[in-house]
Amino acid sequence: MGFYRRTVGISPDGLGGLTMQAALLTEFQQPIQITDVAEPVLPKDGVVIKVLACGVCRSDHHAWQGVDPDVTLPHIPGHEFSGEVVEVGADVRRFKVGDRVIAPFILACGHCVHCDAGESTACSTQDVIGFTLPGAFAEFIAVTRADFNLAHLPESISPTVGASLGCRMPTAYRALVDRATLRADEWLCIVGTGGVGLSALLIAKALNAKVIAVDISDKALEFAMSLGADHGLRADDPDLQTKIKTLTGGGADVAIDALGKQSTMLCALASLSTLGRYVQVGMPAGKSTVLPMPMDQIYAKQLSLHGTRGMPAHRYPSLLSLIESSQMRPERLVTKTIGLDKINDALQAFDQNLGFGVSVVVF
Ligand SMILES: [Zn+2]
Ligand SMILES: [Zn+2]
């Protein structure tokens, strides 16, 4: 069981109370402040968690830029975390103080028609960590509906790797396994090798599929190759689609746009073979909300199109057993661990297309 010193300070409402450090977004596109805020209140059906690590995702960049309609200010972003339970609500049965835990960023209700059908990412009364709820770029976070949404983090997985199990790994797992039903020996084309693209690469290789990674950065492609991609191709290569057709013998079976822009969507779509399956994994946001699509290709090649968003918590056992039983080693994705005070640099890196791999805030 962990013990944490909790500070009694002056909370922002001017009253005495428990305070914590958090990254507080008070104005879109402006530096996020690291400041003292009131600690989260324990929900009756939830837990308070001491955050151990929280990954920095492109969706946090969307929140910071003000292009995610769910975010209202002031706001604490951060939605892929691991942590340790420090307080347990009266109605919670499956968790106790000291448990190491993870949660999908979509917190579902557990009893609507979609949750009953096992499709809790479509829950009609969902809360979203780091978007509709305060996020995990903070010392503590409250998670509601804990018995339905929270999962135990296995001993074999470190908190830093656990931080990828809130968004990028589960999003990639659902996209490939549940939506596209990617099978062994099939070709997957990944356009955009950021955090979720690289997670898709690791999952696809663990499923014994073959992978072509496409990106505009040589460094990012080299990194994808070091993680097991069969081929890495530049997105701006004029012969890109011809090369993909030659390498795959006619086109990819499954393609994902892991970024959410017009160019990446068109590239992924064009890489598909006849009867190929396309999954929109990157969130189209801001200026990229509406992306014109060549319906003639979809018609002529008889393509299937899938959207995907997050992963239901009940799929964690399958994902965790794939991680533990394969040579995936997801710790390889983490190229940078940073303190909370470096959060602005990590977000700005998405603007400048700097670096490769994933940054994780550790506490
Ligand atoms: Zn994310
Ligand atoms: Zn529901």
Mean pLDDT of the chain: 93
Q: What's the 212 CA to ligand 1 centre distance in angstroms?
A: 22
Task: State mean pLDDT over 330-351.
Answer: 94
Give the fold, CATH level 3, of 172-307.
Answer: Rossmann fold (3.40.50)
Q: What's the 163 CA to ligand 1 centre distance in angstroms?
A: 10
Q: Which residues pair with 214 in a beta bridge?
A: 191, 233
Question: pLDDT tens digits, residue range 70-117?
Answer: 999 999 999 999 999 999 999 999 999 999 999 999 999 999 999 999
- At CA 334, angle to CA 330 and CA 336, rounded to 5? 170
Lowest average pLDDT, out of 165-169, 181-185, 353-357, goes to 353-357
Query: Of the candidates 315, 276, 313, 269, which has an alpha carbon nearest to the alpha carbon of residue 292?
Result: 269
Question: pLDDT tens digits, residue range 147-162?
Answer: 999 999 999 999 999 9
- The answer to whether residues 160 and 53 touch, using CB atoms and an 8 Å cutoff, is yes
What percent of the chain lies above the pLDDT cut of 90? Answer: 90
Q: CATH number for 7-167+311-362: choose from 3.90.180.10, 3.30.70.60, 3.30.450.20, 3.90.420.10.
A: 3.90.180.10
Highest mean pLDDT among 63-77, 227-241, 346-360: 227-241
Question: pLDDT tens digits, residue range 27-44?
Answer: 999 999 999 999 999 999
Q: What's the 299 CA to ligand 2 centre distance in angstroms?
A: 34
316 DSSP 8-state letter = H
pLDDT at 257 over 80: yes
Residue 343: the pLDDT is 96
- The answer to whether residues 176 and 207 touch, using CB atoms and an 8 Å cutoff, is yes
> Cβ of 153: how many Cβ atoms within 10 Å?
23
- The answer to whether residues 71 and 65 touch, using CB atoms and an 8 Å cutoff, is no
Side-chain-side CA neighbours of residue 163 (13 Å):
28
Query: Rounded to whole angstroms, how far apart are CA atoms 269 and 254?
Result: 9
Q: Which pairing describes strands 304-307 and 272-280: parallel, antiparallel, or unpaired?
A: parallel
Q: What's the 95 CA to ligand 2 centre distance in angstroms?
A: 20
Least distant ligand from the CA of 114: 2
Residue 350: the pLDDT is 87
Residue 2: the pLDDT is 35
CATH topology identical between 7-167+311-362 and 172-307: no
Q: What's the 148 CA to ligand 2 centre distance in angstroms?
A: 10
Q: Which residues pair with 188 in a beta bridge?
A: 211, 254
The residues spanned by each domain of the chain are 7-167+311-362, 172-307
pLDDT at 306 over 90: yes
**How far from 325 is each of 207, 316, 317, CA to CA, in Å?**
11, 14, 12
Query: Of the candidates 188, 200, 190, 105, which has an alpha carbon nearest to the alpha carbon of residue 143?
Result: 105
